Amino acid sequence: MSKTVGVASLLTGVVKQEVLRYWELVEREYGSVGVKSFDYPNLGFQGGDCEDVKSLGNELQELILQVNSIEIQIHGFDYFTHPNNVIYLKVVPSTELQQFHKKIHNIMAKHCKTVFSYYIPETWVPHVSIAMEDLTLENLKKFQHNFSEYSPLFKQKLSTIALVEFQKSGKGDLLKEWQYKENTLNL
């Protein structure tokens, strides 16, 4: 039976707390709760419909045990308006991050009958969603106006990769999480 799954790095520490603060602000001021379909602020790498999630998980585990943690830099807000209105924090697409994304994409493409077209290497925009799915165009424009002079800046080393399953309800459930190689030495 096919499952819709995704691979993401879960944010931690101060960056996680800041993203959660933005989630609350967007809910309170702009009426959007769609981003809360997943309980963890994250950087998404790829997703798709997979029959053999166990084999996918095994290969992802092999990959994560071979690589060191990647430092990401988040710099400013940006927006998507298609297929949905989305507010997000921009993640600077370093060469190291793009190469890692491509490896994850290739594993997903190997194990899944379909992958998310917006997350293929040629079109992937690394980001951390602040509002999505239920954000009206009017509220998106209000946010853009209110935050036009504000550009948050954060750095964080990614510490884990997670495999999540997307339920029909839209909710994302954590299936498995792996630590990067350098983080396993401290276990």
Domain boundaries in the chain?
A: 3-184
DSSP 8-state code for residue 111: H
Does the pLDDT of residue 93 top 70, yes or no?
yes
Instruction: Render pLDDT for 135-172 as a digit per residue (tens, 0 to 9).
Output: 999 999 999 999 999 999 999 999 899 999 998 877 88
Q: Which residue has the tokens 């819709």?
A: 4
Query: Which one is predicted more confidently, 121 or 173?
Result: 121
> Which tokens sit at 38?
């997943």
CATH H-level superfamily of 3-184: Cyclic phosphodiesterase (3.90.1140.10)
pLDDT band at 20 (very low <50, low <70, confident <90, very high): very high
Does the pLDDT of residue 39 top 90, yes or no?
no
How far is CA 137 from its chain centroid? 22
